[in-house]
């Protein structure tokens, strides 16, 4: 099997296993530290994913190819992506999360954790002194491979725990559905309802003219012109009004439009066409006829 | 590499997870720290399985992964429900059960 080949290649040469361990350990610890110090939750999630991938490589080096693959599929593939989805819904607002609520709580917390880590590491190094050289080659070979060995244990010795796990997973799925389900108390508004509501309320029932309609420019700061040449202030987005950067309407052009709308056409010398002035270059190109 | 190396790495990762739970306020990051602790214990399980020379530790680590996946699903659902009603993902906000 392919994974066994990878795992045995990493364990087989001792120097290779050492390099794998130190590289992955540094990546894993820096990922954990990155999760702690990054301000944005998305960055934290990606740092944790990095830690999980390096842990998967460490599992491969520890003669556990099945767990290594499951680690990549379940943790980086499913769990961390679920985190990222939830962050996209929830966590964008939470950039203030490095502020302390309880004043001065951070340094005691760091001191406590350092002491805890020192205790753990001391106990481990003390307890594992003179341990025999470990190897899983015999256990992995007993049933024809790592996957087969774990399968035999799951379905014989740990069969009850396995069944309970299935009940747990079903309960968790039901719980997630129940917790995120929202009951609709009012019927959903149809298109007809929305239309009636628009006409019942004061205001503009239809679409507002977009910026630049019938005007000289079609930039967003140019108010639309009504057929009589007067500007429509609502056609320009509100913030531009606030900032005072609405483009002023060209008075000459609007006067001409108004005069055209009032029936005072400008007759050209060569045959009754409406002459466009240079000021108003947005209309039909009637004056260009030969 | 000896088992002690792996278990010391696992202890360091576990401590960083503890630190994350203690100093971060965002519920999602606290949750990630819990995941980090679960992973650290998994690494210790796998390392000790190799030391013991049988596959029981790897089987337990597999069960831990299953439980962690179920826990993540329910926990994130709770976080989303709280966010919907309180508009906040901070763990200091939901204190209504106190009164």
ipTM above 0.85? yes
Q: Name the β-bridge partners of B33.
A: none
Could you tell me which residue, A284 or A252, shows the higher pLDDT?
A252
Is B10 a residue whose pLDDT tops 90? Answer: yes
Residues of A in contact with B28 (CB under 8 A): 41, 44-45, 83, 86-87, 90-91, 94
A264 falls in which pLDDT band (50, 70, 90)? low
Q: Name the β-bridge partners of A231.
A: A225
By mean pLDDT, which of A7-11, B8-12, B86-90 is the weakest? A7-11
Q: What is the pLDDT of residues A153-209, one digit of tens each?
A: 999 999 999 999 999 999 999 999 998 888 888 888 889 888 888 888 887 777 777
So what's the pLDDT on residue B99?
57
- Per the CB < 8 Å rule, is B53 touching A61? no
Distance from CA of B83 to the nearest CA of A (A): 7
So what's the pLDDT on residue A18?
86
N-to-C CA span, chain A: 84
Stretch B89-95: mean pLDDT: 67
So what's the pLDDT on residue B96?
63
CB-facing half-sphere around the CA of A97: CA atoms within 13 A? 29
So what's the pLDDT on residue A237?
77
Stretch A66-92: mean pLDDT: 87
Output the CA–CA distances (angstroms, integers) from residue B41 to A238, A257, B47, in the order listed: 56, 79, 10
Q: What is the pLDDT of residues A219-231, one digit of tens each?
A: 777 777 777 667 7
Residues of B in contact with A121 (CB under 8 A): 8, 11-12
Percent of chain A with pLDDT over 70: 76
Q: Name the β-bridge partners of A225.
A: A231
Percent of chain A with pLDDT over 90: 27
For A79, the closest of B29, B58, B69 (CB atoms) is: B69
- Per the CB < 8 Å rule, is A18 touching B1? yes
Is A47 a residue whose pLDDT tops 90? Answer: yes
């Amino acid at each position: 099997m392919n994974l066994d080949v990878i795992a045995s290649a990493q364990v087989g040469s001792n120097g290779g296993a050492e390099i794998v361990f130190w590289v992955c350990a540094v990546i894993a610890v820096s990922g954990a530290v990155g999760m702690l110090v990054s301000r944005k939750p998305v960055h934290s999630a990606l740092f944790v994913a990095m830690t999980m991938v390096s842990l998967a490589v460490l599992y491969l080096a520890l003669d556990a190819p099945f767990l290594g693959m499951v680690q990549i599929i379940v943790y980086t593939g499913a769990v961390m992506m679920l985190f990222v989805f939830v962050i996209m819904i929830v966590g964008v607002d939470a950039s203030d999360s490095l502020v302390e609520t309880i004043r001065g709580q951070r340094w005691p917390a760091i001191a406590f954790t350092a002491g805890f880590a020192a205790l753990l590491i001391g106990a481990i190094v003390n307890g594992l002194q003179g341990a025999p050289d470990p190897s899983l080659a015999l256990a992995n070979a007993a049933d024809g491979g790592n996957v087969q060995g774990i399968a035999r244990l799951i379905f014989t010795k740990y069969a009850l725990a396995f069944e309970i796990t299935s009940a747990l997973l079903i309960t968790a799925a039901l719980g997630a559905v129940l917790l995120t389900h929202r009951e609709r108390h009012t019927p959903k508004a149809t298109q007809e309802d929305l239309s009636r509501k628009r006409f019942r309320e004061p205001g503009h029932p239809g679409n507002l003219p977009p910026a630049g309609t019938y005007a000289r420019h079609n930039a967003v700061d140019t108010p639309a012109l009504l057929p009589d040449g007067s500007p429509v202030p609502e056609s320009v987005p509100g913030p531009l009004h606030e900032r005072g950067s609405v483009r002023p309407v060209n008075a000459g052009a609007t006067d001409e439009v108004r005069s055209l709308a009032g029936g005072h056409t400008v007759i050209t010398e060569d045959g009754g066409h409406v002459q466009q002035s240079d000021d108003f270059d947005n209309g039909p190109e009637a004056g260009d006829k030969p | 590499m000896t088992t002690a190396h792996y278990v010391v790495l696992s202890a360091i990762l576990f401590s960083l997870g503890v630190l994350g739970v203690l100093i971060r306020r965002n519920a999602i990051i606290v949750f990630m720290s819990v995941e980090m602790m679960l992973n650290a214990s998994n690494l210790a399980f796998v390392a000790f399985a190799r030391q013991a020379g049988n596959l029981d530790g790897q089987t337990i680590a597999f069960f831990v992964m299953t439980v962690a996946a179920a826990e993540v699903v329910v926990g994130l659902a709770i976080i989303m429900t709280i966010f919907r009603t309180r508009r906040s993902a901070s763990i200091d906000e939901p204190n209504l059960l106190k009164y």
